[in-house]
Structure 1
Amino acid sequence: MSSTNLLNTSSTIHKLTIQEDWVVVLIGFLIIAITLFGFIVPVPVFGWKNVAELTTIVLSASNLTIIGLQFVFVACIAVLGALLTGKRIQIFLFAFPILYILTIVALIISGNGIVKSINLEAVIFSLTIGLLIGNLFSLPAWLSEALSTELFVKIGLVLLGTSVLFSDILKAGSLGLIQALIVVLSVWYFAFWVCKKFKVDDEMRMMISSAVSICGVSAAIATAGAIKGDSKKLSYVISIVLITAVPMMIFMPYIANHFHFPQTVTGAWLGGSIDTTGAVVASGTLVGEIALKISTIVKFSQNVLLGIAAFAISVYWTYTQHSENGNQEQKPTLKVIWERFPKFILGFIAASLLFSFFITPETTATVKDSLKNLQGLWFALAFTSIGLETNFKDLFQQNSRKPLYAFLIAQVFNIFITLGVAFLLFGSEH
């Protein structure tokens, strides 16, 4: 694995990680500033239903040109990040195009109509492609050295803040936020307790608790960044999240229809319990317009809590962790907490506040597609990197079943507690 993924092994790595977080905030806001000042990176088309559409639309000369322009922009940003974090630029320049091409392949696969219908996100394909290559072939040292998983993930998280808008919640009223608070707190603590009973390790326990209670993939990624978690464990948690979201997305609307739940209750149930925003929208659409609206509001409410949760988790993690020699540290001072605090979270919150209260809706509408596309691309690049540097046997080894069992139990609890809260808050709204 690359040095950025070795966690707390030396003071040198610790200093690099702190520096990298500030670099990520700088780069994230550089991308935002460039976009706001009018250089909007075109969004490539990856959607296709058959071979004819693949060749005439996705692989057309015009779309490949857009993909090429996107590469130039992202490569320049990535090289700046590599330079500021001390990587060898010559190696990075040679390796990054390979990483980008593999990621584009994953995005094209995820753009297939059948894949979209079951709501499998691009990151699962970028992870799979990386895993296949990394496990079937021996990676050259120069490629392994150039992988920058944490850098890519954290840039994506800062950009994610631009789409987490407090204004959506203010417009929606208080019920969605009340439900989000009740569900997130109760499900997080229950998941944490279950993971502890199953003796799941501390890092994965935090990731699972956040993923199942807040907003799935984004929450798992943010938590891993906040605690400087192992990327292999993160990829495992995200695989569970994406796989379990599919049957929930399909069957929960039918259950709601069978028992004649009001659309308001169904929407609140879907938005509060399904872990990915895309799956929430898909399942809400199956029920009806009112359910879609309520489910989206509730999911947005949970998404807004992500920055607050990441902040709280990072402080808790710093305050409770053991020293390297295994002895309990003295409780850290505010200075120590600040030194260890992952600064990218500040970038996420700042971006959210900027787009929630200071950028006009018209400007937001103009730039949101480009920023969302770039955010997804950085996440996909990160998971291609994770796949390349992860041993498949380590990812799905026999003793990894306990985290799976803990996740599933917590998800079942999530489904029932969210349904109860949905009836309590939204049952009289129909």
Structure 2
Amino acid sequence: MSDRSIAGDTAAGHAGTADAQRRPFGTEDWWAVAIGLLAIIVAYALFASGSSIKWLAVSPAKWSSAGRLAADLAAHASGYVALFVAFAAVFSVAIAALGLPVAQFVPGFLVIFVVSAAIFIAGAWAQASTYNLEPPLIALALGLIASNLFTLPAWLAPALRVEFYIKVGIVLLGATLPLTLIVWAGPVAIGQATIVSLATFFVIYGVARALSIDKRFAAVLGVGGAVCGVSAAIAIAGAVRARREQASVAITLVVIWAIVMVFALPAVSRALGLPTGVAGAWIGTSEFADAAGIAAAQAYGDFARHAAGAVAGAPDASLQAFVLMKVVGRDIWIGIWAFVLSIIATTRWDRDAADGVQGQAHASEIWKRFPKFVIGFVVASAIVTWIASHYSLTDYRSVVTPAFVAPIVALRTWAFTFCFLSIGLTTRFSTLAGTGIRPLAAFTAGVAVNVVIGYLLSVHVFAPYWAGLGQ
């Protein structure tokens, strides 16, 4: 495990997902949807009966002394044990259904859970915001330090399920984003995503071709930068029949820039004093991976929450804007690009190639490549919209939010923290070297365009929409 990067781990995860597509028990995406919606349904059933899952969805309270922290942990000790058992049980069912070793997953997950709890404790310190010790950044930094300074035990590897954790978290996130908000800001997100996706792809593809990079490789690099990073690179590599090592290089470049942006974007947004919604939209436009982007958006939201009045906007607006921009806006382009480029590859590139590879593009390619967890996100949003329709705004905030929504937010934050920690623990800087100067130059050109266009659209063109999020 010590010599594997997040790129290798994620590629392996997708390979497992591809194998799972041939199994009768579904894929990683569908299991993430099932787990997320199950949590929401159970939470609502308890809420409707006058109870709540607050006792299970525990997290450390704000503390300023060791005594207060110890008292809080002792009071909720049974809740932490029950939460671990619940997570381990539902995750193990999915792991088993996907044909992966449950006996190897559980011990590693126990370590992930305990370390994540410690990260929550650090983030709950009263002075944490003063030193920018936000849980997502702590998780990522701690994982990077551990994986690059120490040799991690092999038995920990099965629990480092980066994409699985993030997909569960995104489905849970849907329960905090009513459909009315998606309808209102969705067209803006899709429009902004379309501009960015097209501009970034053609810049990367054009520079790559100018540097004499193969068409298929250039397409993988282009979509990896334009859409969803790792997932997009793997999907497009399959669609255009690129070589495996080309997909690996694209994934490596995505990871390099995703790690840079997860620290840079919140810091720059903070320096500029951007409203939370505007910063979230910029992060959603400029980040290259869902997990890294969520870490950055959540860190900025946590800063706004802890440093009241430092920036305008609701703390949750940062994460909401990111999801609308990245998950609703950009991620849907995976299927579109896969479909379009598969047609081009099979009708033109394959015909012109000397190897004589033949293929046929089908409209079903869009559905095959579509990120299924987005469906769970929308369904979760529809559920909370239906629930909200039965309450006034005042009652929703005073009754529904603390008993139903807040516990789901806590579960979502746990899932995200598992993901951020796993990213760090699966990233080896030594394996990120050696990608080659030409692919790096082409991808970096796209990064520059992505960040600049994203800033202009988020901070100026569509600022009224993003600034008003969560108000």
- Coarse TM-score class (shorter-chain normalised): 0.7 to 0.9
Q: Does 1:163 align with 2:163?
A: no
In structure 2, relative to structure 1, the CA distance for the partners of 1:393 and 1:205 (3 Å cut) is: farther
2:27 to 19, 22, 32: 19
RMSD value over aligned CA atoms? 4.5
1:361-394 superposed Cα distances (whole Å, 9 cap, x missing partner): 5475222111112122112212323333332222
CA distance in 2, matches of 1:347, 1:206: 24
Give the equivalent residue in structure 2 for 1:192.
Answer: 201
Deviation at 1:349, TM superposition (A): 1.9
1:347 is aligned to 376
After superposition, what is the alpha-carbon deviation per residue over 1:90-147, rounded to whole angstroms, capped at 9, x for unaligned? 2223222112112222333333445435656433332333333333333333332443
CA distance in 1, matches of 2:195, 2:422: 34
TM-score, with length taken from structure 2: 0.68
Q: Which amino acid aligns with 1:132?
A: I
Q: Deviations over 1:263-282 (max 9, x none)?
A: xxx78755643552652685
2: distance between equivalents of 1:53 and 1:245?
Answer: 36
Q: 1:221 to 1:272 in 2, by over 3 A?
A: same
Q: Take 2:82 and 2:252, find their aligned partners in 1: how far apart are those partners?
A: 31
Q: What is the CA–CA distance in structure 2 between the aligned matches of 1:184 and 1:385, rounded to whole Å?
A: 28
% same residue: 19
Does 355-364 or 397-406 show the bigger shift?
397-406
Offset at 1:413?
Answer: 3.1
Secondary structure, in 3 states, of the residue corresponding to 2:106? helix
Task: Please name the residue that 1:317 is paired with.
Answer: 338
Task: Give the Cα–Cα distance (whole angstroms) in 2 for the partners of residues 85 and 371 of structure 1.
Answer: 25
Instruction: Find the aligned partners of 1:351 and 1:301 in 2 and give their Cα distance.
Output: 17
Q: Which of 72, 75, 88 is the matching residue for 1:75?
A: 88
Residue 452 (structure 2) aligns with: 412
Q: 1:75-100: per-residue Cα shift (whole Å, max 9, x none)? A: 11111111211122222232221121
CA contact (8 A) 1:285 1:291 kept: no
Q: Tell me if the contact between 1:319 and 1:331 (Cα under 8 Å) persists in the aligned partners.
A: no
User: Aligned partners of 1:194, 1:91: CA distance in 2, in Å?
Assistant: 44
- The CA deviation string for residues 317-360 of structure 1, in whole angstroms up to 9 with x for no partner, is 25425699998764532344434443222212222222224554
What is the distance in 2 between the residues matched to 1:318 and 1:354?
Answer: 31
The SS at the match of 1:86 is coil
8 A Cα contact 1:46 1:108, kept in partner: yes
SS at match of 2:427: coil
Structure 1: distance between partners of 2:188 and 2:458:
8
Select between 353-362 and 370-379 the one with higher mean Cα deviation.
353-362
2:36 maps to 1:28: yes
**Paired residue for 1:44?**
58
Q: Are the aligned partners of 1:284 and 1:292 in contact in 2 as well (CA < 8 Å)?
A: no
Map residues 259-278 of structure 1 onto 2, 5 A cutoff.
Answer: 270=279, 272-273=281-282, 275=284, 276=297
Note the C-alpha offset of 1:206.
4.1
Q: In structure 2, do the counterparts of structure 1 residues 120 and 396 end up closer, same or farther at CA, with 3 Å as the change threshold?
A: farther
The 5 Å alignment of 1:27-426 reads 27-38=35-46, 40-42=53-55, 43-46=57-60, 48=62, 50-52=64-66, 55-56=69-70, 60-117=73-130, 121-168=134-181, 180-196=189-205, 199=208, 205-206=222-223, 208-210=225-227, 235-253=255-273, 270=279, 272-273=281-282, 275=284, 276=297, 279=300, 291-292=312-313, 300=320, 303-304=323-324, 306-307=327-328, 309-321=330-342, 330-358=359-387, 360=390, 362=396, 364-365=400-401, 366-395=403-432, 402=441, 403=443, 406-421=446-461
Q: Indicate conservation of the 8 Å contact 1:250/1:283, yes or no.
A: no
Aligned residue for 2:151, secondary structure, equals: coil
C-alpha deviation, 1:155, in angstroms: 1.4
Using structure 1 for the length normalisation, give the TM-score: 0.73
Q: 1:61 offset after TM fit, Å? A: 0.7
Asked if structure 2 preserves the Cα contact closer than 8 Å seen for 1:20 and 1:151, the reply is yes
Find the counterpart in structure 2 of residue 262 from structure 1.
none
Q: AA paired with 2:379? A: A
Q: What is the aligned residue count?
A: 402
Q: Note if contact 1:208-1:237 (Cα within 8 Å) is conserved in structure 2.
A: no
Which ranges in structure 1 are unaligned for 5 or more consecutive residues? 211-218, 257-265
- For residues 277 and 424 of structure 2, the distance between their equivalents in structure 1, rounded to whole angstroms, comes to 35
CA contact (8 A) 2:33 2:168 kept: yes
- What are the Cα deviations for residues 236-280 of structure 1, in whole angstroms up to 9, with x where unaligned? 444233212233332223xx8xxxxxxxxx787556435526526
Partner AA of 1:252 in structure 2: L
The answer on whether the counterparts of 1:83 and 1:89 sit within 8 Å (CA) in structure 2 is: yes
Q: What's the CA shift for 1:74? A: 1.0
Distance in 2, matches of 1:156 and 1:298, equals 16
- CA shift for structure 1 position 157: 2.0
Q: Which moved more, 1:360-369 or 1:157-166?
A: 360-369
For residues 221 and 117 of structure 1, the distance between their equivalents in structure 2, rounded to whole angstroms, comes to 33
Q: Distance in 2 between matches of 1:121 and 1:220?
A: 24
Residue 215 of structure 1 aligns with which residue? none
Pairwise CA distance, 1:62: 1.5
Distance 1:426 1:79 in 2: 39
Alpha-carbon spacing, 1:277–1:20, altered in 2? closer, same or farther (3 Å): closer
